[in-house]
Structure 1
Amino acid sequence: MRKIVIISGHGRYATGLQSTLELLAGKNKDLFYVDFTEEDTDETLKNKFMEILEENKDSEVLFVCDIIGGTPFKVAAAISNFSPKMELVAGCNIGGILESVLMKDQLSLFELAENMVEGSKKSTMVFKKINGSASAFNVPEGEGI
């Protein structure tokens, strides 16, 4: 069964991710980007989601939202809560999203959701500085970048 991914978030979050994902992986007809702007309400956002769902009736759906508990998350949760053909994740980063989108045809819908969250965790880190790191950039000692 075909899987689609609906990415949504506050402001221009979704279309911002669109530009990044398309730069890294090209356009993908199974990805949809829905911004939640200050002109939107819960109802207008729901209508945007429902239009995509109506056009893709026979597809499984993974909603990807920016933050847990925000309006895009709440609206997607209300829509997906009772459907076995829908999953919802939130707080994922570009690394986790990209990896999962590239693997979506090899994974079940639930595995896709799990992989996106795990991939986001794996691609999140604190950079640990090393002594003399300036030399790694061919910068003479004592000079900043």
Structure 2
Amino acid sequence: MKTLVIIVGHGNYGTGIGSSLKLLAGNNSGVEFVDFLEEDSDISLKAKLIKILESSEVAQTLFVCDILGGTPFKTCVELSVEGENMEVTAGCNLGAILESILLKDTMDIKELANNIVSCTKETAVRFEKAKPAVVSVSDNSMEDGI
């Protein structure tokens, strides 16, 4: 199923994610990056998104927004309610976005939206430093090193 992924967020979030994705996976068709800049309004953002949707010939669309509740998220929700086969996600990390880009044409839109959120939850971690093990140097068996 042909899928369009639109990555949108505040400032240069969209094109910034696009730059990272290009470095990691090269150019991918069916992916658009939209920035919500300081000079934009919700109306101009919606116009940018509509222009992309109208020029695209896809069966389904996944919006990937930077943060829940922001103008990009609200605008994408509004478009998804008006349209069909559209899902909106927010707060997803780069690894999850990359995976979704690579899988986008293999899943139905609800499955893809669930997958990107699930992947974000599974890959968000905190590194915990371990205390170094204490080695006794009184044992002469270590005189020669390894």
Class of the TM-score when normalised by the shorter of the 2 chains? 0.7 to 0.9
Does 2:37 match 1:43? no
Partner of 1:111: 111
C-alpha displacement of 1:10: 0.2
Partner of 1:17: 17
CA distance in 2, matches of 1:123, 1:84: 30
CA distance in 1, matches of 2:98, 2:76: 20
Partner of 1:97: 97
CA distance in 2, matches of 1:30, 1:58: 8
TM-score, normalised to structure 1, is 0.87
Give per-residue Cα distances to partners, 1:113-138, cap 9 Å, x unaligned: 000000011110010111239xxxxx
CA distance in 2, matches of 1:99, 1:16: 17
CA distance in 2, matches of 1:23, 1:82: 34
TM-score, normalised to structure 2, is 0.87
RMSD: 1.3
Structure 1 alignment gaps of length 5 or more: 134-145
Give per-residue Cα distances to partners, 1:23-48, cap 9 Å, x unaligned: 11111111100000001001110000
Structure 2 alignment gaps of length 5 or more: 134-146
CA distance in 2, matches of 1:106, 1:29: 14
Contact 2:6 2:31 in 1 (8 A): yes
Runs of 4+ in 1 over 3 A off after TM superposition: none
**Structure possessing the higher relative contact order (Cα contacts under 8 Å, 6 or more residues apart):** 2
CA distance in 2, matches of 1:47, 1:83: 15
Contact 2:4 2:58 in 1 (8 A): no
